[in-house]
Amino acid sequence: MEKLYWQSLDDYKEQKSNSVIDKKDATPEFSIEGLDESEVKGQSSRRDFLKLLGFSVSAVALVSSCQMPVRKAIPLLNQPDDMIPGVANYYASTFFDGKDYCSILVKTRESRPIKIEGNDMSPLTKGGTNARVQASVLNLYDDARLKNPSIAGAKATWDAIDKEVIERLTKLNEDGKKVVLLTSTIISPSSRALIEEFITVYPNVEWITYDPVSFAAMRKANELNFGTSLIPSYSFDKANVIVGFNADYLGNWLMPVTFSKQYSVNRKVIQDNPKMSRSYQFESLMSLTGANADFRVGIRPSDEAAILLNLYNEIAKSTGMSVYNAPKTNIDISKVAKELLSNKGKSLVVSGTDDINIQLIVNAINTALGNYGYTIDINTPVNLMQGDDEAMDNLVKEMNTGTIGGIIINNSNPVYDYSNSKGFITGLKKVGTSISTSDIMDETALECEFVCPDNNYLESWNDAEPVKGHFSIMQPTIQPIFNTRQFQDNLLIWMGNSDDFETYMESKWRQRLVDVSNFNSSWNSIKHDGVYQIKNEIADQPEFIGQSLMAKKALDKGIELVLYENIGMGIGKYANNPWLQELPDPITTATWDNYLCISPAYAESNDLKLEDIVSINGIEIPVLVQPGQPDGTAALAIGYGRTAAGKAGNNVGVNAFGLINGSTIDIKKIDGKTYPLALTQMHHDMEERPIARETTLAKFIKDPASGNELHAYDEKHNVTLYNKIKYDGLHWGMSIDLSSCTGCGNCVIACQAENNVAVIGKEQVKNRRIMHWMRIDRYYSRDEVNPEVFHMPVMCQHCDNAPCENVCPVAATNHSTEGLNQMAYNRCIGTRYCINNCPYKVRRFNWFEFTNNNNFDYNMNSELGKMVLNPDVIVRQRGVVEKCSMCVQRIQEGKLVAKMENRELKEGDIKMSCEQSCPTNAIQFGNLLNEDSVVKKETKNPRMYHLLEGLHTLPSTSYLTKIKNT
Amino acid sequence: MIINNIIRNNSLFIKGFLISGFLSLFMLVSNFGFSQTAEDEKNFQVCKACHTIGGGKLVGPDLLGVNEKRDEAWLISFIQNSTAMIEAGDPIAIEVFNENNKIPMPPNALTDDQVRGLLLYIASGGKIEGGELTASPETENVEDMDLKTAEETTKLIAEMKRDGQRNMSYVFIVLAILFLISLFDLVIIKIVKAKWIHYIIMLTSVVIIGEIVFVEATGLGRQQYYQPDQPVWFSHKVHADQNQIDCKYCHFTADRSMHAGIPPVATCMNCHAQVKEGKKTGTKEIAKIHAAFENNEPIEWVKVYNLPDHVYFNHAQHVNVGKVDCAQCHGEVEKMDEIIQIPDLSMGWCIECHRTESVQFTTNKFYDQYTKLHEKLKKGEMPNVTVQNIGGDECAKCHY
């Protein structure tokens, strides 16, 4: 093998010192932490024996005298035409939480939403979702949700609230005292119109938009450069060269789902016409985008402006634009500049830093490259991220001076996520009337007098215009579960409008749609599709107004702090969602915590290692040594440290919102103290076998099988004693394009939601018992300073010669005539032989009962939380082994539909849960006996290989080598 | 000892028969019918649920003068299958359907001649020609038949129960005692000298006890012949047999969904908005439906056919795709008043059918992709394709 892959720094050190991996200090199969002494020793006392004896005798007595429980069948009083018990309905809707936008389909069973799918009719998200969108259905069934409105902490009725609030608003209006409506970004045109109308009724109301993550600098820069404060729309699919500066566009930046779809278009390599985009990423932490970039450069945050200005100068020199004084940097950007210049109009430079100087330079570079009108469009601006930092700062000042008479806070939690939280709280106490519309008793709602709980988005009507001309409808898929009311309905009632928001919104759409004569049918079709597009008039890009550019010299000492959003938590709105808490971070593979990422060099010189505790600005936090973390930086995820999110999310990690991004920090080691982190990185270690296979575009053009030479060798040398299974009709298979996969973790949550996978909590994750049926393996290669990252989704490979099948003493796992490695939980007696014999380590053992167990107080321990369970999939009990079933319930459903329609199965009829919403279409599923299916065609691809094919397990799942454009 | 006590509450079942028998006798005395022929009179019993002759509109229209209003051919086909005519777009049929609150008339399996007789009966206003007032012996026969079938059903079910429910507790106890005595004698008192006698007794009793335990343990969690009390005394016999209502009229999702569907109260109200009195239970039971509808409280039926949670069963697959008749699993429901579970719903019972039943292999295009099986079928290597042949006995067909 040419390349050595490693999973942790310990691995890497071993490789470096010795290059032959022989001694691997055997870590125990599972950690013994958290177990009591007798468990560790594996001893049982006489007492235990007697306990067991007594238990089994009484259990037998109980079972034998038991009667079957009486089960009720309660039909509906009046069954609606479109609701058939046992058949799923899908409704198009929209996910928007103030930050992320996604067009979705909501799968409902018996009228309750159980799964989110991507809506492939959307021209923006094209059927993709991200992990948070997938997990959002669980928020609907969150026990922390408020059940009733309240006044000053006491339960109240809506009538009482309305009466009091209207009285107060009228009084404040008469007195001319200012009332502030504080919201996160609102992209709904109807809601915006409603708020404007509200302001005409109460002219003393001022509307302030606040987002914890700000794009204010970019908007300001565009205002200076193009005359309008906006965020342009980007087309990553049209760019041959993409240069990102601290912009995690595949992870969290602006519209990650849309950008992932666009990005992956040029990452899929066709053998006949091998072309690929090239991506550069300059960043101050290891982000998902950096992990996928062809070239990644670690930089200090303070160095970014200087590098960009140098890049600009380099480009300006050859395009004849004015050159500015730029401080010298250590980074050589001439290669990037050259490449950008040769791809004028087909390149894209983006920066995610909220600094106006940087955004001005980025705009100047894109102008010099002629990208406006091609990869960047000013005329179709993105409406997301409208937060106005200045207005927010002013508001806090005004609140503290006592000039604000009232405040209505919607979908915003400044007490938790505003940098000057204390100032906000003291100010809020001086505001006479404070109203929160939070759906949970969050940090801000706790400080408010009136709490008017909002509906979940799956219970609400709304519309959205994330990008100019792209409309999208949000429609309720369930009646409000609790006594809650939509924010917009509050406004309507408080302004004396008797309409509900649905009617109001419909009237607005009546104005928007040209063909009013046929309104009902077009309105219905928009609601059906979930999306509606108005063609924007083609116009020239506005003229670029040059601004003078400047950059400061980078700091060369000290540690600069980088705050980032991780894939699971984002800005921390869904901290109480246990699925997201337990989603391993795609880079660090950590769950249930945030931590300070430091560079390996810093760790070495300061004698720090994983799980040591350090103190920064008075905050104590564990350390994670992150390969690729640039020297002189440390990264910390925001979105943790909630105190009023709910039982799963409270006090997980630390709150980093009080720290300043880019500031210099002192890291003090706290001696003798450690804090355990639950990383899944070393679980299911595949040792050093040729699992990750990759090549470069240049090598691929020369030899399409490059990097995959072992495949031909293994094919030739494999012999077996078993007969080859002959299939008839159906043989399911899966194909995973590692070139497309970004490792975003969407599939992990999609699988969890579809297959009722249990959440087990931090302690058990640490004990290596994570239950996810599919995982994203992450391998590093090259050095620790700037490693290459390799992501690989692994689930059951459904081998034809499955090693697990022939060791099962009770034949609980066996092979189907459709090529599935099936698992009969009811037959399983839990010997775990199969787990031992599975070379892919994809089988999971239920060490505990995860339902109705107070030790695992997550969604499966709550009547409400259980509503999310998929009724077609059983919930596994303690003592059985489970694993990926290749969504057999979806296969059976697809087959049934075809039979009922009296037709053959078509390619695409059945989609796996992980495949359906993949934002990069990396996963394909189909019938290997169908010559036209993608999976069958991919088996002939020279890039195709199976995991550990030397074992001749003949998996039905195949992988395509990763191709990097280096 | 494992107690096989899963059949409960069959007292009301018996009560139901008693009540129905009593009511029928009462009707025999009080009810004098006038009929064209006995058969027509009998056939009209079905119509009576929704129609009168000159008594005003019930669920369906008053049939007085219907012979003059519509032509005979139309009436015959409408009576035989009204839904088909509505679907075919017959304007009069649609009009009638709409006039009667869009409640379809269930199809009737009657020959043309039977319908003609029925029409004559209607034309006569429910009297025989000439207007002669005579007590009709045929009516008696009808009620007799009613009683007879009731008896038959009781017998049938009793037989089935006897077959399925052997009570082995005495055998178990006797054998256990025998075993202990032999053991006692063998080890302590030693009266019988020939030790082989002990061994034979002990071995035999252990084997038989083992067999009993095995059978009883296998039956744990199974509910064959389960017949619980239902909140409403609903008779499938009255609905499915006497009124000839198709199963799928009420269980209307059976061919579309995994659940056959317990009919919503609104479906009951299609007919019972008008039919407020039953022959057997008077207004008592039907009033419960009305109460449920008016108070917005769904009826909590007791589920009879229960599959364990780890089994996935889909009605649409069997009814729609497999063309399996309802009776194949649920028995002769039309002979039961309250539903009783006929099969034991064991896995062996499922698999047995999957091994023998053939699939719609040549008629359903889905199966076209099984090319190898089609070849074998063509060559005559196999007589038919059973469910098992296409993987119908594999774990993941029902367990996931």
Helical (H) or strand (E) element with A117: strand A112-118
- Whether chain A has a CB inside 8 Å of the CB on B375: the answer is no
Q: Which of B251, B258, B366 would you mutate first to test chain A, the one with the most A CBs within 10 A?
A: B366
Scanning B83-122 for CB atoms below 8 A from A yields: none
Average pLDDT score over residue span B370-381: 92
Angle between helices B72-80 and B91-99 (to 10 degrees): 60
Average pLDDT score over residue span B81-89: 78
User: Are the Cβ atoms of B253 and A86 closer than 8 angstroms?
Assistant: yes
The dihedral through the CA atoms of A940, A944, A950, A952 has a sign that is: negative
CA distance to partner chain B, nearest, from residue A956 (Å): 17
pLDDT in tens, A830-867: 999 999 999 999 999 999 999 999 999 999 999 999 99
CA distance to partner chain B, nearest, from residue A272 (Å): 31
* Cα–Cα distance for residue pair B241/B109, rounded to 1 Å: 12
Helical (H) or strand (E) element with A295: strand A295-298
Domain B34-134 matching CATH 1.10.760.10: the answer reads: yes
Confidence of residue B135 (pLDDT cuts 50, 70, 90): very low
* Cα–Cα distance for residue pair B394/A915, rounded to 1 Å: 25
Q: What is the pLDDT of residue A685?
A: 62
- Whether chain A has a CB inside 8 Å of the CB on B33: the answer is no
* A635 φ/ψ angles, rounded to the nearest 5 degrees: -115, 145
pLDDT in tens, B297-343: 889 999 999 998 899 999 999 999 999 999 999 988 888 888 888 88
- Whether chain B has a CB inside 8 Å of the CB on A902: the answer is yes
Q: Which of A78, A87, A826 sits opposite B399 (nearest CB)?
A: A826
Q: pLDDT at residue A524 above 80?
A: yes
Q: What is the pLDDT of residue A77?
A: 86
Average pLDDT score over residue span A782-805: 91
Helix ranges (H only) for A342-388 are 356-368
Angle between helices A304-319 and A334-341 (to 10 degrees): 50
Q: Do the interacting molecules here have an ipTM over 0.90? A: no
* Cα–Cα distance for residue pair A423/A658, rounded to 1 Å: 11
Structure tokens given for A526: 């928009």
User: Are the Cβ atoms of B266 and A79 closer than 8 angstroms?
Assistant: yes
Helix ranges (H only) for A469-543 are 487-494, 501-512, 519-529
User: Are the Cβ atoms of A895 and B298 closer than 8 angstroms?
Assistant: no
Which DSSP category does A851 fall into? S
- Whether chain A has a CB inside 8 Å of the CB on B276: the answer is no
Q: What is the pLDDT of residue B276?
A: 83
Q: Which of A369, A386, A324 is nearest to A544 (CA)?
A: A369
Structure tokens given for B381: 């290597």
Nearest chain B residue to A87, by CA: B257
Residues in B closer than 8 angstroms to A86, CB to CB, are 253, 257-259, 261, 314-315
Q: Where are the domains of chain B?
A: 34-134, 166-219, 346-400
* Cα–Cα distance for residue pair A447/A435, rounded to 1 Å: 9
Q: What is the pLDDT of residue A32?
A: 53
Q: What is the pLDDT of residue B42?
A: 66
Mention every residue, 6+ apart, whose C-beta is less than 8 A from residue A481: A140, A141, A145, A456, A459, A864
Q: What is the pLDDT of residue A691?
A: 87
Q: Which of A892, A900, A930 sits opposite B320 (nearest CB)?
A: A900
CA distance to partner chain B, nearest, from residue A585 (Å): 29
- Whether chain B has a CB inside 8 Å of the CB on A78: the answer is yes
User: Are the Cβ atoms of B394 and A86 closer than 8 angstroms?
Assistant: no
Confidence of residue B161 (pLDDT cuts 50, 70, 90): low
pLDDT in tens, A505-519: 999 998 888 666 788
Q: Which residues pair with A845 in a beta bridge?
A: A881
> Quick one: three-class SS letters along chain B?
CCCCCCCCCCHHHHHHHHHHHHHHHHHHHHCCCCCCCHHHHHHHHHHHCCCCCCCCCCCCCCCCCHHHHCCHHHHHHHHHCHHHHHHHCCHHHHHHHHHCCCCCCCCCCCCHHHHHHHHHHHHCCCCCCCCCCCCCHHHHHHHHHHHHHHHHHHHHHHHHHHHHCCCCHHHHHHHHHHHHHHHHHHHHHCCCCCHHHHHHHHHHHHHHHHHHHHHHHHHCCCCCCCCCCCCCCCCHHHHHHHCCCCHHHHCCCCCCCCCCCCCCHHHHHHHHCCCCCECCCECHHHHHHHHHHHHCCCCCEECCCCCCCCCCCCHHHHHHHCCCCHHHHHCCHHHCCCCCCCCCCCHHHHHHHHHHCECCCCCCHHHHHCHHHHHHHHHCCCCCCECHHHCCCCHHHHCC
Scanning A558-617 for CB atoms below 8 A from B yields: none
Scanning A773-832 for CB atoms below 8 A from B yields: 812, 814, 816-818, 820, 822-827
* Cα–Cα distance for residue pair B347/B399, rounded to 1 Å: 11
The count of other CB atoms within 10 Å of the CB of residue A582 is 28
Structure tokens given for B6: 């899963």
User: Are the Cβ atoms of A729 and B369 closer than 8 angstroms?
Assistant: yes
CA distance to partner chain B, nearest, from residue A253 (Å): 38
Q: A421, A448 in Cβ contact below 8 A?
A: no
* Cα–Cα distance for residue pair A451/A434, rounded to 1 Å: 9
- Whether chain B has a CB inside 8 Å of the CB on A62: the answer is no
Structure tokens given for A465: 């215009």
Maximum CA extent, chain A: 92
* Cα–Cα distance for residue pair A217/B281, rounded to 1 Å: 79
CA distance to partner chain B, nearest, from residue A425 (Å): 48
pLDDT in tens, A945-957: 999 988 888 999 9
User: Are the Cβ atoms of B320 and A817 closer than 8 angstroms?
Assistant: no
Q: What is the pLDDT of residue B269?
A: 87
> Quick one: three-class SS letters along A46-87?
HHHHHHHHHHHHHHHHHHHHCCCCCCEECCCCCCCCCCCCCC
Q: Which residues pair with A957 in a beta bridge?
A: A734
* Cα–Cα distance for residue pair A629/A635, rounded to 1 Å: 8
Structure tokens given for A718: 């494999």
Confidence of residue A22 (pLDDT cuts 50, 70, 90): very low
Mention every residue, 6+ apart, whose C-beta is less than 8 A from residue B397: A816, A892, B391
Maximum CA extent, chain B: 97
User: Are the Cβ atoms of A87 and B296 closer than 8 angstroms?
Assistant: no
Q: pLDDT at residue B26 above 60?
A: no
Strands (E) in A413-523, as ranges, are: 433-436, 450-451, 462-467, 470-474
* Cα–Cα distance for residue pair A284/A286, rounded to 1 Å: 7
pLDDT in tens, A563-580: 999 999 999 999 999 999
- Whether chain A has a CB inside 8 Å of the CB on B346: the answer is no
Q: B243, B235 in Cβ contact below 8 A?
A: no
pLDDT in tens, A660-691: 888 889 999 988 889 999 998 766 566 677 88
Q: What is the pLDDT of residue B116?
A: 84
Q: Which residue has the tokens 């139901």?
A: B16
Mention every residue, 6+ apart, whose C-beta is less than 8 A from residue A477: A91, A93, A106, A108, A111, A113, A458, A459
The dihedral through the CA atoms of A352, A357, A362, A367 has a sign that is: positive
Residues in B closer than 8 angstroms to A726, CB to CB, are 372
Confidence of residue B207 (pLDDT cuts 50, 70, 90): very high
Confidence of residue A35 (pLDDT cuts 50, 70, 90): low
Q: What is the pLDDT of residue B51?
A: 78
User: Are the Cβ atoms of A68 and B264 closer than 8 angstroms?
Assistant: no
What domains can be seen in chain A, in order of their start residue? 5-21+683-964 (3.30.70.20), 216-382 (3.40.228.10), 559-679 (2.40.40.20)
Confidence of residue B156 (pLDDT cuts 50, 70, 90): low
* Cα–Cα distance for residue pair A87/A729, rounded to 1 Å: 26
| A150-151/A450-451 β-pairing | antiparallel
Q: Which of B263, B303, B396 sits opposite A72 (nearest CB)?
A: B303
* Cα–Cα distance for residue pair B334/B242, rounded to 1 Å: 8
CA distance to partner chain A, nearest, from residue B256 (Å): 8
User: Are the Cβ atoms of B257 and A84 closer than 8 angstroms?
Assistant: yes
Percent of chain A with pLDDT over 70: 95
Q: B330, B342 in Cβ contact below 8 A?
A: yes
Q: B63, B57 in Cβ contact below 8 A?
A: no
